[in-house]
A = this chain, B = another copy of it.
Amino acid sequence: MKGSDTVNSFVLKGNICCSDTPDKLRLFDNSYLVCLEGKCRGVFSTLPAEYQSLPLKDYGRNIIIPGLIDLHLHAPQFAFRGIGSDMELLDWLNTYTFPEERKYSDLSYAEKAYSIFTEELRRSATTRAVIFGTIHREATQLLMDKLEASGLVTMVGKVNMDRNAPDYLTETTESSVSETRRWLSESLGKYQRTKPIITPRFVPSCTDELMTALGEISVEYRLPVQSHLSENLSEVAWVKELVPSAETYGHAYEKFNLFGRDVPCVMAHCVHSPEAELALMKKNGVFIAHSPDSNTNLSSGIAPINRYIQMGMKVGLASDVAGGADINMLRMMAESIRASHLRWRLVDSEIPALTFANAFYLATKGGGEFFGKVGSFEPGYEFDALVIDDSTIATPRELSFPERLERLPYLADSRHIRAKYVFGQQLF
């Protein structure tokens, strides 16, 4: 190493934690975390000679963890977070969501809304996110421009809907496809950190023709896919009516090659997934975006996440704003643990509740895998990190490092994030 101290090569010092396995953390007290050209080189108790010429930032007793990954949220819905959780999914969409999403045909409204959204996401614990826009091509492009400028790494989707939505939010099949292609032609290759993702809203919103075309586009451009799956009981029943030939809701995506067979795919929720659906997801490597805040607010239920982990499924965490009210992914770790406690008590005591180590894994390496080698400090991982100053969370106790970590999901938010690094770049 010849002191290649570019802006993306440096050393951080502090109390460092990352996941080892889904069940186990690795803790490094007062250690060195090395970033070389945007990638992690590992954690060291003594800084190896080869990295001693790199700039070093000593964060003292601060906690350093991988950046958190939000696998599913809706940028346009940020405007009404905390409002309207008095309904279940389908009514909630018609009453609160669609009227808000309509507004993004107006670029001046989108400018205002997405500026707020992007700035809050930049300041949050999230370093990478998989994001729904609206059906509007131009507003979605605007959102991507803003996210790119923020330094965050994101996948962003122009939503597709050609049925079962209000007229003002329903595309024709043709326009949905052509607008998607135009959006891709304008955004592919334009950004360093912002990537388009194919986004059928959910099966009820898309005709077979549209689904077929989206599956083709996804394969043609090798683009990942995001959508919703088995969130709510009425939704599941409706999909069964709409696509009677599909064995499960998941098979209704698979039928159109939108379920991870050829390209990466992430599905939000999976609260009510039957065995055949899970088996197909496992076979295809489909990611689950677990959204405990949203699933509680919209009375959807509680997904058996620990079972999914034990089955070897790919699972990460999601805020699902605005089904979820909070963009804070630290909090989402707490919500995943809390929901699992209630599921254990009220539904199935055979499935153990999630531990802190489980939740930490979901929010980092579990979800990070959707972005590649992301969410860990193991050598070769893309370098995302949060530096957390918990000294203002007052206590008379001398807390151990594990205790300091454990309380963060319950008590920390953007106020406590002292520094944030995404792919080797310091955002603040």
| Least CB separation from A349: chain B residue | B299
Residues in chain B near residue A302, CB distance under 8 A: 342, 346
Q: Assess the A85–B337 pair: CB atoms within 8 A.
A: yes
Q: Assess the A353–B299 pair: CB atoms within 8 A.
A: yes
Shortest distance in angstroms between A356's beta carbon and chain B's nearest beta carbon?
7
Which one of A45-53, A74-82, A181-189 is at the interface?
A74-82
Q: How far is the CA of A299 from the CA of B340 in the complex (A)?
A: 9
Type the 1/0 row for A212-256, where 1 means its CB is closer than 8 Å to any CB of B.
000000000000000000000000000000000000000000000
How many copies of this chain?
2
Q: How far is the CA of A326 from the CA of B393 in the complex (A)?
A: 12
Shortest distance in angstroms between A296's beta carbon and chain B's nearest beta carbon?
5
With known contacts A109-B396, A397-B80, A410–B344 Cβ distance under 8 A: no
Task: Tell which of B79, B82, B299, B395 touches A342, judged by Cβ atoms closer than 8 Å.
Answer: B299
Q: Assess the A81–B300 pair: CB atoms within 8 A.
A: no
Q: How far is the CA of A298 from the CA of B338 in the complex (A)?
A: 9
With known contacts A297-B341, A356-B86, A113–B410 Cβ distance under 8 A: no
Instruction: Please indicate which of the listed interface residues A100, A338, A409 has the most CB atoms of chain B within 10 Å of its own CB.
Output: A338
Q: Assess the A338–B396 pair: CB atoms within 8 A.
A: no
Residues in chain B near residue A283, CB distance under 8 A: none
Residues in chain B near residue A297, CB distance under 8 A: 338, 341
Q: Assess the B81–A410 pair: CB atoms within 8 A.
A: yes
Shortest distance in angstroms between A244's beta carbon and chain B's nearest beta carbon?
26
> Which label, helix, strand, loop or mixed, suits the secondary structure of the A interface?
helix
Shortest distance in angstroms between A190's beta carbon and chain B's nearest beta carbon?
25
Q: Assess the B410–A341 pair: CB atoms within 8 A.
A: no
Residues in chain B near residue A406, CB distance under 8 A: 82-84
> Would you list which residues of chain A between 304 and 328 have a CB under 8 Å from chain B?
325-326
Q: Assess the A113–B82 pair: CB atoms within 8 A.
A: no
Query: A9 near B: Cβ within 8 Å?
Result: no
Shortest distance in angstroms between A23's beta carbon and chain B's nearest beta carbon?
13
Residues in chain B near residue A407, CB distance under 8 A: 81-83, 325
Q: How far is the CA of A242 from the CA of B96 in the complex (A)?
A: 52
Q: Assess the A346–B344 pair: CB atoms within 8 A.
A: no
Query: A411 near B: Cβ within 8 Å?
Result: yes
Given A80-B397, A116-B395, list of 19 further CB < 8 A pairs? A79-B395, A79-B396, A81-B407, A82-B407, A83-B403, A85-B341, A112-B396, A113-B396, A296-B338, A297-B341, A299-B341, A300-B345, A301-B342, A301-B346, A325-B407, A325-B411, A326-B410, A339-B342, A346-B346
Q: List 16 A-B contacts (CB under 8 A).
A: A78-B395, A79-B395, A79-B396, A86-B355, A86-B356, A112-B396, A116-B396, A120-B394, A296-B342, A299-B342, A299-B344, A299-B353, A300-B345, A302-B346, A326-B410, A346-B347
Q: Which residues on A are within 8 Å of B, measured CB to CB?
A: 78-86, 100, 109, 112-113, 116, 120, 296-302, 325-326, 334, 337-339, 341-347, 353, 355-356, 393-397, 399, 403, 406-411
